[in-house]
Amino acid sequence: MARTEYLENEPWHHHWLLREEDPTSLVNTDWLETDQLLQEPGYTNIDEPTGIRWTYGGSRYQHFDNVGEYNSIPLIVHRVNTDNWIGSDFHDQPDVLALGCSYTEGPGLPYNFTWHSIAESITDLRINTIGRSGQNAAQQLFGMFGHNKHFAPPKSIWMLAPPLERFWAPVKTDIRETVTLHYQPDFRTFPNPTQHTPYMHEPIHGAKNFYPIDLASHGNLVAIETLINYTAAHNIELKLTSWVDSCLTTLERLYPQHVMARHDLPWIHRHTSEHPESSKECDCGLEPQNQYQYDFWNQAADVHPTHQRPHPGFHYHCHVAELFLDRKLSNTDIESIVPFWAGTDIEQQIIR
């Protein structure tokens, strides 16, 4: 039988795999190799006195202070664990697995200033974190199963859910993986990840089409419901919330028994041009307890040409930690929190 005749009798997904010539473009089968952040700049340093593995954040980050003027904050320095993820080494038997996107990973922040690291530093909890910038709920669900293949399942899963509009799409790229498309409400479509045009999916049969937004939302809600069913089946506590208002509202309506109460401060992002949180609007009483916290109090240091609004700073992450810990933090709780490199030889190598 000729190859073309064989293809005509095959199901559509066989066509897709043969066209791509690489089934791993659908999913990355080894979650430990999905960390694109560490490919930039592509090397890891080891601090001899402490044995800490670390790397610069590369040219992605430059810091501007709260009035838009450049100051002398050092380049972001990442701690790299032995599994090549950002952060401290994973616990073999974690109490908590933290899931989320950039609001969990904390680009432009010292790792110690992220909400899950804050929670770990003021409790006896052992917390592993696989939050990744730009990911959606489906990708984080996949990562959760990958984590549990390598380590003991956690006693609790905390998820700061990404927007439901993010679509994990089978788009072929130079690094051989799927990509996350971010819905643009102004254009009512998903943008092409490599061009400033709407993304057009090219199916095996038929004409090109736009990806519908409801398909993206459905995939993410299926992932979250799968997470709910998995945790219930394995007696794992699930704490669920979101940093974006539309997602949180949806989750509250669908899964009220799992979603935590809204925070009473203006930290929820409503897709506006304004910064999602400002300590000037907050009467919580928290204040920076050292110079490191002051440098990153209101915003992270991830201003760059394609991302003009930085991510929230240390103060914001303190309030997210409060949500998952179900208690208010005090200045005493946070007074000893500093970047991992503070007081080490690494600090002397950072160019200010």
268 vs 89 pLDDT, higher one: 89
Per-residue pLDDT, averaged over 35-47, amounts to: 57
Do 37 and 85 form a contact (C-beta atoms < 8 A)? no
Q: What's residue 155's pLDDT?
A: 97
Per-residue pLDDT, averaged over 82-104, amounts to: 91
Beta bridge pairs of residue 135: none
Residue 294: what are its φ and ψ, rounded to 5°? Answer: -60, -40
- Residue 76: pLDDT above 90? no
Domain limits of the chain?
22-349
Mean pLDDT estimate for the chain? 76
Residues near 274 by beta carbon (within 8 Å), at least 6 away in sequence = none
pLDDT-derived band of residue 204, with 50, 70 and 90 as boundaries?
low
Q: What's residue 48's pLDDT?
A: 86
Do 207 and 192 form a contact (C-beta atoms < 8 A)? no
pLDDT-derived band of residue 59, with 50, 70 and 90 as boundaries?
very low
- Residue 132: pLDDT above 80? yes
Tell me what percent of the residues of the chain surpass a pLDDT of 90: 30
* Secondary element (H or E) of residue 238: strand 237-242
How do residues 137-169 score in pLDDT, each as one tens digit?
998 998 898 899 889 999 999 999 999 988 877
Cα separation, 183 vs 166, whole angstroms: 6
Q: What's residue 351's pLDDT?
A: 54
Beta bridge pairs of residue 201: 209
pTM: 0.81
Q: What's residue 75's pLDDT?
A: 62
Question: What three-state secondary structure class fits 70?
Answer: strand
Q: What's residue 306's pLDDT?
A: 52
> Between the ranges 60-69, 74-83, 256-265, where is the mean pLDDT highest?
74-83
Q: What's residue 143's pLDDT?
A: 87
Pairing outcome for strands 96-100 and 127-129 = parallel
pLDDT-derived band of residue 335, with 50, 70 and 90 as boundaries?
very high
